[in-house]
Amino acid sequence: MKVSNGVSNSATDETRHEGLDALLPDVFAADCASRGILEHVVSRWGVLVLASLLEGTLRFSALRRRIGGVSEKMLAQTLQTLERDGIVLREAKPVIPPHVEYSLTPLGRQAAHHVWTLAHWAESHVPQVESAREAYDEKRA
Amino acid sequence: MKVSNGVSNSATDETRHEGLDALLPDVFAADCASRGILEHVVSRWGVLVLASLLEGTLRFSALRRRIGGVSEKMLAQTLQTLERDGIVLREAKPVIPPHVEYSLTPLGRQAAHHVWTLAHWAESHVPQVESAREAYDEKRA
DNA sequence: CGGCATCCAAAAAGATACTG
DNA sequence: CAGTATCTTTTTGGATGCCG
């Protein structure tokens, strides 16, 4: 991809990440495709869809019940985006009434694992963040 | 409000991807505070701010140059949110012209590490995702 | 330089109704 | 059941101007 654009990405760059590849498509570049992928998986509902499907295959309505507050529209949209990116697998059985199952592709399982780690981190640091917020708010009251 | 205090929270278990029905402060619950934290951290610019600051302390303008496409307004907004959450540390030197440095708190370094992992994953899977998209688009053309 | 306030355009999200 | 279509509301983001 774009390793040759304006934003210094070459080897003579300042301190890069120790040990991590410095020669990839760059999320910092505004036009890099990795930004788009990242956006999809960490989107508001994308995170929760991936975390849900990590538990196993789910139907549309089950997914909707699992994820508190998601609208039918946003769930459908999120699933389509992730399906297109090869992260979620959609299997529709041609019966009436419709029966559609969603699961993770191998690629999706990788993403979901990372996303889950993040979600879990957030869950376990709620108290710390809340006390930080109190301190912050008090300091400017 | 939140079930964050007192309830089964201190389970810092990393590998429980199955059968997690009603066990912890739950990102799946619409009203759980962890959702908010997660949103801040994985927000469009939040991800990139954290990844940038992982490389070291940066000034406002340096951050802006580092992150392609971010506007002044959104950068300021993102930094404030993360500062309030105790993730980013802001240090303003009372000189003219102003000199403000941003860095990560210990808490922020944790978040940034997870976020970086995700960003790196996205970067390294651009080709796979792009070919998945082609296949998807072709199948419905 | 590092903001903040304001205004405006655009995109995302929600509610609702309808369909195969 | 699993969506789509349409409409409205909300949120987001960019541009601009001002200020310490």
**Residue A57, pLDDT above cutoff 50:** yes
Mean pLDDT of chain A: 85
Q: Are B47 and A139 spatial neighbours (Cβ–Cβ below 8 Å)?
A: no
Specify the higher pLDDT residue, B75 or B1: B75
β-pair partners for B100: B92
CA B85 to chain centre: 11
How distant is C1' of D16 from CA of B51, in Å? Answer: 30
Q: How far is A12 from chain B (nearest CA, A)?
A: 15
Backbone angles phi, psi at B138, to 5 degrees: -70, -35
| pTM given for the model | 0.83
Specify the higher pLDDT residue, B11 or A43: A43
- Given CB atoms, is B76 within the 8 Å cutoff of chain A? no
Tell me what pLDDT residue B24 has. Answer: 66
Mean pLDDT of A89-106: 95
Disruptive mutation site among A123, A128, A130, A131 for chain B (greatest number of B CBs within 10 Å): A123
Helix (H, G, I), strand (E, B) or coil at A88: strand
Q: Are B82 and B89 spatial neighbours (Cβ–Cβ below 8 Å)?
A: no
Per-residue pLDDT tens over the stretch B55-64? 999 999 999 9
Burial class (CB in 10 A: 0-12, 13-18, 19+), B20: middle
Nucleotide lying nearest to A75, CA to C1' measure: D3
How distant is C1' of C1 from CA of B137, in Å? Answer: 47
Per-residue pLDDT tens over the stretch B73-112? 999 999 999 999 999 999 999 898 999 999 999 999 999 9
